[in-house]
């Protein structure tokens, strides 16, 4: 009987999720569309807001990457940055394939890998600590794939990474947070959708 072989993974470093997100906030151009969901949405709302921020609360869990794909296809001259949770990514892994297949050069998908469903009380996601998100993205057909666990390295790289034609995938290993409330809707979603469309029309 053969036993499965595994390669020990190097001990992973983890950065504070809020700081990782703040680096995205600092690097984004005001013309960029930024979609946030789950705890990245909660933390994004603590930072100064822009008209092209789409806080996906409420959401259909898993919907941020395909929503970003649609926006990237409709607005090819703007960069679209999606900040997703790892549980939400797992709920819609096929979206990696759909995105890679459509090849939107202006789409950046960032997954905040905390190994948990933080919003619902930090239960472990399936495959926590085992699933290799960058490998999934590469296997789906993404060509620009990156992973960071060090805040300093992410802060130094983020501007360069989001400037490269994509679709781009970034996995950020972030620290787990326990006991914080989940994101609260910043206002009626219909009204926010209307304002967002107006802002896009300029």
Partner 1 sequence: MFSSEKIRTLLEQLGVTHVVTVPDSTIGRWQTAIEERGTPRLVRVCREGEAWQVAAGLQLGGATPLVLIQCTGLLESGDAIRNALHDFGLPLFAIIGYRSYLNQDTLPGDTCLVFTEPTLDAWKIDYRLVTRPSQFDDIRPHFVACRDAGKPGAILLAEGKA
Ligand X SMILES: Cc1ncc(C[n+]2csc(CCOP(=O)(O)OP(=O)(O)O)c2C)c(N)n1
Residue 84's nearest CA partner among 48, 39, 125, 42 is 39
Query: Smallest distance, Å, CB 164 to partner 1?
Result: 22
Q: Which of 86, 109, 142, 172 binds ligand X (CB under 6 A)?
A: 86
* Number of residues in contact with ligand X under rule CB under 6 A: 14
Q: Which residue is nearest to ligand X (CB)?
A: 85
Instruction: Tell me the two tokens of residue 201.
Output: 């029309």
Window 88-107: residues binding partner 1 (CB under 8 A): 92, 94-95, 97-98, 101-102
CB 144 within 8 A of CB 96: no
Question: How far is the first Cα of the chain from the last one, in angstroms, to the nearest whole number?
Answer: 65
Q: Please tell me whether residue 189 binds partner 1 under the rule CB under 8 A.
A: yes
Per-residue buried b or exposed e for 42-71, using 16+ beta carbons within 10 Å of the residue's own CB: bbbbeeeeeebbbbbbebebbbbbbbbbeb
Q: Please tell me whether residue 193 binds partner 1 under the rule CB under 8 A.
A: yes
Binds 193: which of partner 1, ligand X, none (CB < 5-8 Å by kind): partner 1
Q: Please tell me whether residue 87 binds ligand X under the rule CB under 6 A.
A: yes
d(CA 26, CA 7): 36
CB 111 within 8 A of CB 135: no
Binds 66: which of partner 1, ligand X, none (CB < 5-8 Å by kind): partner 1
Choose one: 1-9, 41-49, 72-80, 155-163; the region binding partner 1 (CB under 8 A): 72-80
Q: Which of 27, 34, 36, 39 binds ligand X (CB under 6 A)?
A: 39
Reduce the DSSP state of residue 26 to 3 states and report it. Answer: helix
Q: Please tell me whether residue 61 binds partner 1 under the rule CB under 8 A.
A: yes
């Amino acid at each position: 009987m053969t036993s499965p072989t595994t390669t020990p993974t190097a001990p992973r470093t983890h950065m504070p999720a809020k700081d990782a997100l703040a680096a995205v906030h600092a690097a984004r151009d005001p013309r960029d569309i930024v979609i946030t969901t789950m705890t990245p949405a909660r933390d994004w709302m603590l930072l100064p807001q822009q008209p092209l921020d789409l806080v996906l609360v409420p959401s259909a869990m898993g919907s941020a990457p395909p929503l970003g794909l649609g926006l990237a296809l409709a607005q090819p001259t703007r960069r679209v940055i999606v900040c997703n949770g790892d549980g939400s990514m797992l709920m819609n892994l096929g979206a990696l394939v759909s995105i890679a297949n459509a090849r939107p050069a202006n789409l950046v998908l960032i997954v905040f890998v905390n190994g948990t469903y933080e919003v619902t009380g930090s239960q472990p996601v399936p495959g926590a600590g085992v699933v290799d998100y960058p490998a999934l993205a590469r296997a789906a057909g993404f060509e620009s794939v990156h992973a960071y666990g060090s805040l300093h390295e992410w802060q130094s790289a983020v501007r360069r990474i989001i400037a490269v034609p994509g679709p781009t995938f970034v996995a950020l290993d972030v620290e787990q947070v326990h006991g914080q409330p989940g994101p609260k809707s910043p206002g009626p979603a219909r009204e926010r959708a209307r304002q967002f469309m107006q802002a896009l029309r300029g």
